[in-house]
Amino acid sequence: MKLYDFKGKYINENKGVLDFFIKTLNGMAYGLFATLIIGTIISTMNQYIINYPALEEVAKIVKSLMGVGIGLGVAWSLKFDGLKLIVGAVSGGIAFSMAPYIGDTYTFAFLGEIVALRADPLVIYITVIGTLIFMDTILPKKTPLDIILIPLVGIILAFSISLVVTIPISLGIKSIGTFIILATNTTPFFMGVLIAVVMGMALTAPISSAAIAVAIQLGTNATGFSAADLHILGIAGGAALTGCCVQMLGFAVMSRKDNNIGTILSVGLGTSMLQFKNVLKKPIIWLPTIIVSAILGPLSTVLFKMTTTSIGAGMGTSGFVGQLATIDSMGVNSSSIIAIVILQIILPIVLVLGVDIIFRKFGWIKKGDLAI
Protein backbone atom coordinates (compact mmCIF):
# COMPACT_ATOMS: atom_id res chain seq x y z
CA MET A 1 0.00 0.00 0.00
CA LYS A 2 1.39 3.40 -0.96
CA LEU A 3 1.32 6.27 1.44
CA TYR A 4 -1.37 8.65 0.34
CA ASP A 5 -4.54 9.42 -1.45
CA PHE A 6 -7.82 10.91 -0.44
CA LYS A 7 -9.30 7.40 0.05
CA GLY A 8 -6.32 5.73 1.67
CA LYS A 9 -4.04 4.91 -1.25
CA TYR A 10 -1.00 6.68 0.18
CA ILE A 11 -1.97 7.24 3.80
CA ASN A 12 -1.66 3.94 5.62
CA GLU A 13 -5.14 3.49 7.10
CA ASN A 14 -3.70 1.80 10.19
CA LYS A 15 -1.24 4.62 10.93
CA GLY A 16 -3.11 7.71 9.76
CA VAL A 17 -2.20 11.19 8.58
CA LEU A 18 0.47 11.73 11.26
CA ASP A 19 2.50 8.83 9.88
CA PHE A 20 2.32 10.43 6.42
CA PHE A 21 3.70 13.74 7.68
CA ILE A 22 6.39 12.05 9.77
CA LYS A 23 7.62 10.09 6.76
CA THR A 24 7.57 13.03 4.36
CA LEU A 25 9.17 15.42 6.86
CA ASN A 26 11.97 12.91 7.34
CA GLY A 27 12.34 12.75 3.56
CA MET A 28 12.52 16.54 3.55
CA ALA A 29 15.17 16.39 6.27
CA TYR A 30 17.32 14.03 4.17
CA GLY A 31 17.16 16.54 1.34
CA LEU A 32 18.11 19.38 3.67
CA PHE A 33 21.04 17.43 5.14
CA ALA A 34 22.47 16.58 1.73
CA THR A 35 22.26 20.15 0.41
CA LEU A 36 21.59 23.18 2.62
CA ILE A 37 23.01 21.81 5.86
CA ILE A 38 26.16 20.19 4.46
CA GLY A 39 26.71 23.27 2.28
CA THR A 40 26.50 25.48 5.36
CA ILE A 41 28.97 23.24 7.22
CA ILE A 42 31.44 23.49 4.33
CA SER A 43 30.99 27.27 4.18
CA THR A 44 31.42 27.77 7.94
CA MET A 45 34.48 25.53 8.17
CA ASN A 46 35.98 27.27 5.15
CA GLN A 47 35.33 30.69 6.67
CA TYR A 48 36.93 29.98 10.04
CA ILE A 49 39.41 27.16 9.38
CA ILE A 50 40.33 26.36 5.77
CA ASN A 51 39.87 29.68 3.93
CA TYR A 52 39.97 28.27 0.39
CA PRO A 53 37.89 30.33 -2.14
CA ALA A 54 36.91 27.34 -4.30
CA LEU A 55 35.24 25.66 -1.32
CA GLU A 56 32.92 28.64 -0.88
CA GLU A 57 31.77 28.20 -4.48
CA VAL A 58 31.21 24.49 -3.84
CA ALA A 59 29.13 25.38 -0.77
CA LYS A 60 26.98 27.80 -2.80
CA ILE A 61 26.34 25.18 -5.48
CA VAL A 62 25.42 22.53 -2.90
CA LYS A 63 23.04 24.90 -1.08
CA SER A 64 21.40 25.89 -4.37
CA LEU A 65 20.39 22.24 -4.84
CA MET A 66 18.11 22.37 -1.77
CA GLY A 67 14.93 22.20 -3.84
CA VAL A 68 16.12 19.19 -5.81
CA GLY A 69 17.28 17.48 -2.61
CA ILE A 70 14.00 18.03 -0.77
CA GLY A 71 12.01 16.92 -3.82
CA LEU A 72 14.01 13.73 -4.13
CA GLY A 73 13.80 13.04 -0.38
CA VAL A 74 10.02 13.51 -0.23
CA ALA A 75 9.41 11.45 -3.37
CA TRP A 76 11.61 8.67 -2.00
CA SER A 77 9.75 8.73 1.33
CA LEU A 78 6.48 8.25 -0.57
CA LYS A 79 8.01 5.25 -2.36
CA PHE A 80 7.90 6.72 -5.84
CA ASP A 81 10.36 5.36 -8.36
CA GLY A 82 11.42 5.75 -11.98
CA LEU A 83 10.32 8.90 -13.79
CA LYS A 84 8.00 9.98 -10.98
CA LEU A 85 10.91 9.95 -8.52
CA ILE A 86 12.91 12.15 -10.88
CA VAL A 87 9.94 14.48 -11.37
CA GLY A 88 9.77 14.82 -7.58
CA ALA A 89 13.31 16.19 -7.67
CA VAL A 90 12.51 18.47 -10.62
CA SER A 91 9.38 19.84 -8.90
CA GLY A 92 11.49 20.73 -5.87
CA GLY A 93 13.92 22.58 -8.12
CA ILE A 94 11.04 24.51 -9.70
CA ALA A 95 9.65 25.49 -6.28
CA PHE A 96 13.13 26.62 -5.18
CA SER A 97 13.33 28.96 -8.18
CA MET A 98 9.80 30.33 -7.94
CA ALA A 99 10.36 33.13 -5.39
CA PRO A 100 12.87 35.02 -7.59
CA TYR A 101 10.46 34.54 -10.52
CA ILE A 102 7.57 36.16 -8.62
CA GLY A 103 9.70 38.91 -7.08
CA ASP A 104 11.80 39.71 -4.02
CA THR A 105 8.85 40.95 -1.96
CA TYR A 106 5.07 41.00 -1.98
CA THR A 107 2.89 43.67 -0.35
CA PHE A 108 -0.37 42.63 1.31
CA ALA A 109 -2.36 45.85 0.94
CA PHE A 110 -5.12 44.86 3.39
CA LEU A 111 -2.53 44.05 6.06
CA GLY A 112 -0.02 46.75 5.25
CA GLU A 113 2.55 43.96 5.33
CA ILE A 114 5.59 43.62 3.07
CA VAL A 115 6.74 40.01 2.97
CA ALA A 116 10.10 38.85 1.64
CA LEU A 117 9.70 35.96 -0.78
CA ARG A 118 12.32 33.26 -0.48
CA ALA A 119 13.06 29.69 -1.49
CA ASP A 120 11.44 28.37 1.66
CA PRO A 121 11.71 24.63 2.40
CA LEU A 122 8.02 24.59 3.32
CA VAL A 123 7.08 25.92 -0.12
CA ILE A 124 9.22 23.20 -1.70
CA TYR A 125 7.75 20.51 0.58
CA ILE A 126 4.12 21.39 -0.20
CA THR A 127 4.81 21.84 -3.91
CA VAL A 128 6.48 18.44 -4.18
CA ILE A 129 3.73 16.63 -2.26
CA GLY A 130 1.01 18.33 -4.29
CA THR A 131 2.78 17.61 -7.56
CA LEU A 132 3.30 13.93 -6.78
CA ILE A 133 -0.24 13.36 -5.51
CA PHE A 134 -1.97 15.08 -8.43
CA MET A 135 0.42 13.56 -10.97
CA ASP A 136 -0.25 10.08 -9.61
CA THR A 137 -3.99 10.80 -9.71
CA ILE A 138 -3.87 12.03 -13.31
CA LEU A 139 -1.47 9.31 -14.49
CA PRO A 140 -2.17 6.31 -12.22
CA LYS A 141 -1.16 3.66 -14.75
CA LYS A 142 1.68 3.23 -17.20
CA THR A 143 1.12 4.42 -20.77
CA PRO A 144 3.25 4.31 -23.93
CA LEU A 145 3.70 8.09 -23.62
CA ASP A 146 4.94 8.14 -20.00
CA ILE A 147 8.40 9.32 -21.05
CA ILE A 148 6.78 12.58 -22.19
CA LEU A 149 3.58 12.80 -20.14
CA ILE A 150 5.05 12.29 -16.65
CA PRO A 151 7.71 15.04 -16.88
CA LEU A 152 5.34 17.41 -18.72
CA VAL A 153 2.45 17.00 -16.28
CA GLY A 154 4.84 17.15 -13.32
CA ILE A 155 6.45 20.39 -14.50
CA ILE A 156 3.09 22.06 -15.15
CA LEU A 157 1.79 20.98 -11.74
CA ALA A 158 4.93 22.08 -9.90
CA PHE A 159 4.93 25.49 -11.57
CA SER A 160 1.21 26.01 -10.89
CA ILE A 161 1.29 24.84 -7.26
CA SER A 162 4.40 26.82 -6.32
CA LEU A 163 2.94 29.91 -8.02
CA VAL A 164 -0.15 29.59 -5.81
CA VAL A 165 1.48 28.68 -2.47
CA THR A 166 4.69 30.77 -2.40
CA ILE A 167 3.10 34.06 -1.33
CA PRO A 168 0.66 32.76 1.36
CA ILE A 169 3.31 30.46 2.85
CA SER A 170 5.78 33.35 2.96
CA LEU A 171 3.17 35.37 4.86
CA GLY A 172 2.57 32.45 7.21
CA ILE A 173 6.29 32.05 7.92
CA LYS A 174 6.62 35.79 8.51
CA SER A 175 3.66 35.66 10.93
CA ILE A 176 5.18 32.74 12.87
CA GLY A 177 8.48 34.59 13.08
CA THR A 178 6.73 37.76 14.26
CA PHE A 179 4.91 35.79 16.97
CA ILE A 180 8.14 34.11 18.14
CA ILE A 181 9.89 37.50 18.25
CA LEU A 182 7.05 39.08 20.26
CA ALA A 183 6.72 36.14 22.65
CA THR A 184 10.48 35.73 23.19
CA ASN A 185 10.96 39.45 23.70
CA THR A 186 8.03 39.66 26.15
CA THR A 187 8.49 36.41 28.09
CA PRO A 188 12.00 35.11 27.38
CA PHE A 189 11.93 32.75 30.38
CA PHE A 190 8.70 31.00 29.39
CA MET A 191 9.63 30.85 25.70
CA GLY A 192 13.02 29.44 26.64
CA VAL A 193 11.29 26.58 28.44
CA LEU A 194 8.72 26.00 25.70
CA ILE A 195 11.06 26.12 22.71
CA ALA A 196 13.81 24.02 24.30
CA VAL A 197 11.39 21.30 25.42
CA VAL A 198 9.31 21.14 22.24
CA MET A 199 12.20 21.26 19.76
CA GLY A 200 14.22 18.80 21.83
CA MET A 201 11.33 16.36 21.91
CA ALA A 202 10.84 16.79 18.16
CA LEU A 203 14.48 15.81 17.63
CA THR A 204 14.11 12.56 19.60
CA ALA A 205 10.70 11.74 18.13
CA PRO A 206 10.55 10.69 14.47
CA ILE A 207 9.81 14.29 13.51
CA SER A 208 12.52 16.39 11.91
CA SER A 209 13.43 19.24 14.26
CA ALA A 210 15.98 20.34 11.64
CA ALA A 211 13.30 20.66 8.97
CA ILE A 212 10.98 22.53 11.36
CA ALA A 213 13.69 25.01 12.41
CA VAL A 214 14.69 25.75 8.82
CA ALA A 215 11.08 26.00 7.63
CA ILE A 216 10.06 28.58 10.26
CA GLN A 217 13.39 30.47 10.03
CA LEU A 218 14.30 29.94 13.69
CA GLY A 219 17.65 31.76 13.65
CA THR A 220 19.67 34.84 12.77
CA ASN A 221 19.74 33.94 9.07
CA ALA A 222 15.99 34.57 8.59
CA THR A 223 14.89 36.93 5.82
CA GLY A 224 12.49 39.87 5.91
CA PHE A 225 13.22 41.01 9.49
CA SER A 226 15.12 43.90 11.05
CA ALA A 227 18.52 43.33 12.67
CA ALA A 228 16.95 43.61 16.15
CA ASP A 229 14.27 41.06 15.28
CA LEU A 230 16.86 38.71 13.79
CA HIS A 231 18.72 38.78 17.09
CA ILE A 232 15.54 37.74 18.93
CA LEU A 233 14.92 34.94 16.42
CA GLY A 234 18.52 33.87 16.96
CA ILE A 235 17.95 33.72 20.73
CA ALA A 236 14.84 31.58 20.17
CA GLY A 237 16.93 29.37 17.90
CA GLY A 238 19.54 29.16 20.66
CA ALA A 239 16.91 27.79 23.05
CA ALA A 240 15.92 25.20 20.45
CA LEU A 241 19.54 24.19 19.97
CA THR A 242 19.98 23.89 23.73
CA GLY A 243 17.00 21.55 23.99
CA CYS A 244 18.32 19.42 21.13
CA CYS A 245 21.79 19.20 22.71
CA VAL A 246 20.21 18.08 25.99
CA GLN A 247 18.29 15.30 24.24
CA MET A 248 21.31 13.97 22.37
CA LEU A 249 24.00 14.20 25.03
CA GLY A 250 21.48 13.40 27.76
CA PHE A 251 20.32 10.15 26.21
CA ALA A 252 23.94 9.29 25.42
CA VAL A 253 25.00 9.60 29.07
CA MET A 254 21.83 7.89 30.32
CA SER A 255 22.54 4.85 28.15
CA ARG A 256 26.09 4.41 29.51
CA LYS A 257 25.12 1.24 31.42
CA ASP A 258 23.29 -0.38 28.50
CA ASN A 259 25.31 0.26 25.34
CA ASN A 260 28.87 0.15 24.04
CA ILE A 261 30.87 3.29 23.34
CA GLY A 262 30.09 3.21 19.61
CA THR A 263 26.34 3.19 20.22
CA ILE A 264 26.64 5.90 22.87
CA LEU A 265 28.52 8.13 20.41
CA SER A 266 25.89 7.40 17.74
CA VAL A 267 23.25 8.82 20.08
CA GLY A 268 25.32 11.77 21.30
CA LEU A 269 26.79 12.85 17.97
CA GLY A 270 24.32 11.25 15.57
CA THR A 271 20.70 11.28 16.71
CA SER A 272 18.79 10.63 19.92
CA MET A 273 16.02 9.22 17.73
CA LEU A 274 17.77 5.88 18.25
CA GLN A 275 16.25 5.88 21.74
CA PHE A 276 12.68 6.60 20.63
CA LYS A 277 11.63 2.94 20.59
CA ASN A 278 12.74 2.73 24.24
CA VAL A 279 10.76 5.89 25.02
CA LEU A 280 7.64 4.23 23.62
CA LYS A 281 8.27 1.15 25.77
CA LYS A 282 8.93 3.17 28.94
CA PRO A 283 8.03 6.89 28.60
CA ILE A 284 9.51 7.84 31.99
CA ILE A 285 13.04 7.57 30.55
CA TRP A 286 12.25 10.74 28.58
CA LEU A 287 11.69 12.81 31.74
CA PRO A 288 15.35 13.53 32.67
CA THR A 289 16.11 15.17 29.31
CA ILE A 290 12.79 17.03 29.31
CA ILE A 291 13.41 18.36 32.83
CA VAL A 292 16.93 19.53 31.97
CA SER A 293 15.72 21.11 28.71
CA ALA A 294 13.19 23.11 30.74
CA ILE A 295 16.02 24.26 33.04
CA LEU A 296 18.59 25.15 30.38
CA GLY A 297 16.17 26.70 27.84
CA PRO A 298 15.58 29.86 29.89
CA LEU A 299 19.27 29.96 30.85
CA SER A 300 19.94 30.25 27.13
CA THR A 301 17.36 32.98 26.47
CA VAL A 302 17.77 35.02 29.66
CA LEU A 303 21.37 34.58 30.86
CA PHE A 304 23.56 33.47 27.95
CA LYS A 305 21.41 35.05 25.21
CA MET A 306 22.99 32.54 22.85
CA THR A 307 22.06 32.85 19.18
CA THR A 308 22.31 30.44 16.28
CA THR A 309 21.09 30.06 12.71
CA SER A 310 18.06 28.06 11.63
CA ILE A 311 20.47 25.44 10.24
CA GLY A 312 21.75 24.65 13.73
CA ALA A 313 18.62 25.29 15.81
CA GLY A 314 17.21 21.81 15.26
CA MET A 315 20.48 19.88 15.02
CA GLY A 316 21.86 19.67 18.55
CA THR A 317 25.29 18.04 18.56
CA SER A 318 24.63 15.99 15.41
CA GLY A 319 27.88 16.21 13.46
CA PHE A 320 28.61 19.35 15.51
CA VAL A 321 26.34 21.27 13.12
CA GLY A 322 24.70 23.16 16.00
CA GLN A 323 28.07 24.26 17.33
CA LEU A 324 29.27 25.40 13.90
CA ALA A 325 25.99 27.28 13.42
CA THR A 326 26.49 29.03 16.76
CA ILE A 327 29.91 30.20 15.58
CA ASP A 328 28.38 31.25 12.27
CA SER A 329 25.82 33.35 14.16
CA MET A 330 27.94 34.73 17.04
CA GLY A 331 31.44 34.58 15.55
CA VAL A 332 34.53 33.19 17.25
CA ASN A 333 34.69 34.98 20.61
CA SER A 334 34.52 34.27 24.32
CA SER A 335 30.71 34.46 24.39
CA SER A 336 30.22 31.84 21.70
CA ILE A 337 32.90 29.51 23.07
CA ILE A 338 31.51 29.72 26.63
CA ALA A 339 27.96 29.12 25.36
CA ILE A 340 29.04 26.10 23.33
CA VAL A 341 31.18 24.51 26.03
CA ILE A 342 28.93 25.18 29.04
CA LEU A 343 25.38 25.39 27.70
CA GLN A 344 25.57 22.93 24.82
CA ILE A 345 27.96 20.32 26.24
CA ILE A 346 28.87 20.39 29.94
CA LEU A 347 25.55 21.30 31.57
CA PRO A 348 23.44 18.87 29.49
CA ILE A 349 25.76 15.99 30.42
CA VAL A 350 26.13 16.88 34.11
CA LEU A 351 22.48 17.76 34.82
CA VAL A 352 20.97 14.82 32.94
CA LEU A 353 23.44 12.50 34.66
CA GLY A 354 22.33 13.89 38.02
CA VAL A 355 18.62 13.45 37.28
CA ASP A 356 19.30 9.98 35.86
CA ILE A 357 21.08 8.92 39.06
CA ILE A 358 18.10 10.12 41.14
CA PHE A 359 15.63 8.27 38.91
CA ARG A 360 17.68 5.07 39.14
CA LYS A 361 17.86 5.42 42.93
CA PHE A 362 14.05 5.44 43.08
CA GLY A 363 13.87 2.54 40.62
CA TRP A 364 12.13 4.59 37.93
CA ILE A 365 14.90 3.81 35.43
CA LYS A 366 16.62 0.42 35.44
CA LYS A 367 19.49 -1.26 33.66
CA GLY A 368 18.40 -2.33 30.19
CA ASP A 369 15.78 0.41 29.76
CA LEU A 370 17.98 2.27 27.25
CA ALA A 371 19.55 -0.69 25.46
CA ILE A 372 19.66 -0.26 21.69
215 confidence band (pLDDT: 50, 70, 90): confident
What pLDDT score was predicted for residue 99? 65
CB neighbourhood size of 167 (10 A): 18
Q: To the nearest whole number, what is the mean pLDDT of the chain?
A: 86
Q: Give the percent of the chain with pLDDT over 70.
A: 90
Question: Strand 105-108 vs strand 113-116: parallel, antiparallel, or unpaired?
Answer: antiparallel
In 117-254, DSSP assigns E strands to none
Question: CB of 242 within 8 A of CB of 298?
Answer: no
Quick one: CA torsion of 53, 57, 60, 61, rounded to 10 degrees? -160
What pLDDT score was predicted for residue 118? 63
| DSSP code, position 5 | -
For 85-144, write each residue's pLDDT tens digit. Answer: 999 999 999 998 876 665 555 554 444 455 555 667 888 999 999 999 999 888 888 888
210 confidence band (pLDDT: 50, 70, 90): confident
What pLDDT score was predicted for residue 6? 43
For 271-323, write each residue's pLDDT tens digit. Answer: 888 888 889 889 999 999 999 999 999 999 999 999 999 888 988 998 888 99
29 confidence band (pLDDT: 50, 70, 90): confident
Q: What angle do CA 314, 341, 179 make, to 5 degrees?
A: 35
Q: Using CA of residue 222, residue 322, residue 38, residue 216, what is the dihedral sign?
A: negative
pTM (2 d.p.): 0.76
3 confidence band (pLDDT: 50, 70, 90): very low
- 94: buried, middle or exposed (CB in 10 Å: 19+, 13-18, 0-12)? buried
Listed by start position, the domains of the chain span 1-172, 187-372
Nearest to 217 by CA among 254, 259, 171, 258: 171
Quick one: CA torsion of 330, 336, 337, 343, rounded to 10 degrees? -140
